[in-house]
Amino acid sequence: MFWLRTFFYVLPLAIAFVVVLLFREVSRLQLPGVGEALTTSIREPIGPLDPLTPISGPTREVRDLIFDPLLVRDDDLNLRPHIISSWDSQTVIVIRCFSEEDAGEAEAMILSGEYLDEDMTVLGLNREGSVLTVALEGFAPDFERRLIGEFDPGLLGDYLLVRLRLKHSIQDSLGTFLKSSVEKGQIKMLDFEGDQIANLFVRGDTDLFLRELELYYDSNLSLAPEIEVVGKQSFTSSQELVIRMRSDVKWHDGRPVTSEDLLFSYNELTRPGSSMPLKGTFWFLESVEVINEFSVRGVCRETPAMMMESFEALPLLPAHLLSDQSDEERWMNFADSPVGCGPYRIEKRREDGGIVLRAFEGYFGTKPEQEWNVYRRFDSLESKLLALRSGRVDCLVPDERFSDWSIRNPGRVRQIRCLPRIQYLVAWNLDTEPFDQNSVRTALAKSVDLNAVLVDTATSYQEPVQSLFFPGVPYVSKALPLPLLDLKGAEELLEEAGYQFDENQGARVNEAGVALTLKLSVNESDSEHVRLARALQNQWAAIGVVVEIEEVSWETLLNQRLLTREFEGVLLSWEIPLKKDRYEAFHSRGIEEGGGNLFGLRNQVIDELLINLREEDRPDMISVEAHRLQDEIVNLQPCFFVGQSGRIITIRDGAVEVVRTSKGNESIRSPAGIGKAGLERSRPWWVRSEKVIPMPLAAPERRGE
């Protein structure tokens, strides 16, 4: 019996040891206790949190809590510094003087202000030998001409400027040329603009040099060489954007956020084949380089007023985790458990598909008052109601049964409508008959009863499209003047276009008796797109238009319909952008391969309006151009705007507040809601109300009773 006595003696010690281990493990995880976390009940698991992939619902909400943008919108939707702390524009002029002595004289004249106009402010001045570099504040297309025009011509070098541009990196190619060149001694000075342009300042028998240069590149046509003889010129200029980042931002793993991260993100997302191609978004940049740990410099080929909106759209990625492009598994693991620099970090993923977030102690901004955010799934309606009654759930993604219960029990929960973020549209191929006729496209728009097409669910709502731009932007005060439902007017337009109704076929036909048929392509895996397509099919059948719905995979829709423009109509959705630049979607140059003009829209007036919006910085004129653009788009009807959709968030009544910190560091409390800047700006500051009062809840009705 010795072993039995030993067992009973050791058992309490073993139990105590296990309890200590469990306590240490719980302490290590530091998971929240009951009532400590703002808890959201979800229906589907939180998916991959990829910052490069369009996502919606709770998964997007979680992603937005983990990642912070480079720039943010304030409560009035104006762009403000965030991780990017400031930015400046400057015009850099490099002047080649005749001699070092002449450069010194010119430097003295600039410092005295004698060579400067009133609107010129010198940010920097450097002299190296006979080369003088002047940095002037701001962008102006004639800065260099005006400055050089003040110089004594005798101070300037006598050079012929030859500009060489290649399709690919130029330094290796030019270096190979110089090794074998006989006439390279005529190159007196050489500099580079980005990695594709070289400026060669030559003097001597320049005809021989040019002939040698042309012969060399004629044998290397794969580089797409362009040789431009600019003429007699002793200077070059560039327009630069200098961006400075905060020095106190950290990734969730403790590493500092630096300019290397910004450069990596830019290079990764503007390269060919990127999963989020932003090359068109940064069309104005020639190159980007690191200046120091927290600053980068961009050389601009053009200087639009809205250039910082492009950086707003650039996700910031941790270079130290993702710089190995060949490791696909690393990207997948990152999306599953990402490292961001936002106000919350991932503590753990739950086995039920939920996730636990904790306020990031190293966050550079005001740390959220709500320490824990938990997203979890409940097995049944009964368990969900029990959690509501005990105050263990604050926000919900309801299902059909819960929605029925909430209708029968008003006052238990309340709904918050987020701003509409998604627009549904049918893109017409304007190069295909009969959709090349404005009257046909307008007739299709006039014949749709949106009340019969758009529906609300427990988790989202749909409404008619209000604008081409984000809701509430200060420069748009007029709604998009879309055609109203007018069946008689639609029929008259189709008759004018040559389509009469044939009773025998039950459809509209042309003079040859061929029915007016529309093939509407749609992504088969998007149930909402399929539903909308079928609803439109019924609407257009009422005026005699036969609609054939083609359900295909997204890969087929993208590669064999949209990119090749082999379609009649495609039902799509896009996210309403915060920026005012809609060049990619509607400018005629966007018809080219890889462009965003899916419709084939070619219109000079719209092209000019889009360019004006890029260049205009006066608020009143921005408003004028934006309203004109909306009117022109409606007149031409390159697409049919079906509707727009926003998310509905259900919260336990009185359970959630918004706590923001004022300039005086005072906490300002207000009921949970969505401001003009949307959920992304308000959600990090949601907290559980200090007084959580359990509510008496009616029991759910059993099915079949």
Distance CA 393, CA 599 (A): 46
Distance CA 610, CA 645 (A): 25
List the structure tokens of 184: 């390279």
Residue 411 maps to a domain: no
Q: pTM for the full model? A: 0.84
- Across the chain, what does the average pLDDT equal? 88
Q: Give yes or no for residue 609 having a pLDDT over 90.
A: yes
- 215 plus 98 within the same structural domain: yes
pLDDT digits (tens, 9 = 90+) for 513-544: 999 999 999 999 999 999 999 999 999 999 99
Bond from prior residue into 304 cis (ω within 30 degrees of 0): no
Cross-strand bridge partners of residue 235:
95
CATH number at residue 516: 3.10.105.10
User: Nearest CA to 147 among 121, 168, 176?
Assistant: 121
Q: Of 102-111, 271-280, 617-626, 654-663, give the lowest mean pLDDT range.
A: 271-280
Residue 592 maps to a domain: yes
Residue 65 maps to a domain: no
Residue 112 maps to a domain: yes
Q: What is the signed CA dihedral for 318, 319, 323, 327, rounded to 10 degrees?
A: -20
The predicted structure's pLDDT at residue 126? 93
Residue 551 maps to a domain: yes
Distance CA 419, CA 408 (A): 27
CA angle 350, 657, 577 (to 5 degrees): 75
pLDDT band at 18; cut points 50, 70, 90? very low
**DSSP readout, 38-53?**
EEEE-SS------TTS
Distance CA 498, CA 440 (A): 10
Classify 300 as helix, strand or coil.
strand
- 582 plus 448 within the same structural domain: yes
Residue 320 maps to a domain: yes
Q: What is the mean pLDDT of residues 106-117?
A: 91
Cross-strand bridge partners of residue 183:
none
Contacts for 53-58: CB closer than 8 Å, 24+ residues apart: 53/275, 53/276, 53/335, 54/575, 56/421, 56/422, 56/647, 57/397, 57/459, 57/647, 58/375, 58/397
Distance CA 40, CA 544 (A): 48
Run of H or E residues at 542:
none
Distance CA 310, CA 312 (A): 5
Percent of the chain with pLDDT over 90: 59
CA angle 290, 292, 297 (to 5 degrees): 40
Distance CA 336, CA 70 (A): 22
- 307 plus 213 within the same structural domain: no
Q: Are 418 and 679 in contact (CB under 8 A)?
A: yes
Residue type at 359 in one-letter notation: A
Residue type at 453 in one-letter notation: V
- 578 plus 469 within the same structural domain: yes
**DSSP readout, 485-496?**
P-HHHHHHHHHH
CA 431 to the chain's CA centroid: 29
Cross-strand bridge partners of residue 285:
300
- In the chain the first and final C-alpha atoms are separated, in Å, by 61
**How many other CB atoms sit within 10 Å of the CB of residue 243?**
21
Q: Give me the domain span that covers residue 263.
A: 251-330
Q: What is the mean pLDDT of residues 345-365?
A: 96
- 260 plus 231 within the same structural domain: no
- 229 plus 259 within the same structural domain: no
In the listed set 631, 647, 663, which residue is the last one of a domain according to the structure?
A: 647
Residue 583 to residues 33, 309, 592, Cα–Cα distance (Å) = 51, 13, 13
Q: What is the mean pLDDT of residues 572-600?
A: 88
**DSSP readout, 200-236?**
EEE-SSHHHHHHHHHHHHHT-GGG--EEEEEEE-SEE
Contacts for 47-50: CB closer than 8 Å, 24+ residues apart: 48/332, 48/335, 48/336, 49/335, 49/336, 49/338, 50/335, 50/338
Cross-strand bridge partners of residue 133:
94, 126
- 450 plus 596 within the same structural domain: yes
Q: Give yes or no for residue 37 having a pLDDT over 70.
A: yes
More confident site: 284 or 8: 284
Residue 501's φ and ψ, nearest 5 degrees, are -80, 130
pLDDT digits (tens, 9 = 90+) for 140-183: 878 888 898 889 888 998 889 998 988 778 888 888 888 888 88
The predicted structure's pLDDT at residue 22? 44
Q: Give yes or no for residue 699 having a pLDDT over 70.
A: no
pLDDT digits (tens, 9 = 90+) for 118-140: 888 999 999 999 999 999 998 88
User: Nearest CA to 37 among 391, 336, 366?
Assistant: 391
Q: Of 54-58, 337-341, 350-354, 633-637, give the lowest mean pLDDT range.
A: 54-58
Residue 336's φ and ψ, nearest 5 degrees, are -75, -40
- 621 plus 559 within the same structural domain: yes
**DSSP readout, 183-204?**
SGGGEEEEEEETTTEEEEEE-S
- 215 plus 298 within the same structural domain: no
Q: Give yes or no for residue 23 having a pLDDT over 60.
A: no
Residue 460 maps to a domain: yes
In the listed set 291, 310, 330, which residue is the last one of a domain according to the structure?
A: 330
List the structure tokens of 520: 């509407």
- 230 plus 290 within the same structural domain: no
- 469 plus 614 within the same structural domain: yes
More confident site: 643 or 690: 643
pLDDT digits (tens, 9 = 90+) for 361-396: 999 998 999 999 999 999 899 999 999 988 899 999
In the listed set 302, 330, 358, which residue is the last one of a domain according to the structure?
A: 330
* DSSP summary character for residue 167: S
Residue 22 maps to a domain: no
CATH number at residue 312: 3.90.76.10
Residue type at 97 in one-letter notation: C
Q: How many domains does the chain have?
A: 3
- 150 plus 270 within the same structural domain: no
pLDDT digits (tens, 9 = 90+) for 303-347: 888 899 999 999 999 999 998 766 777 888 899 999 999 999 999
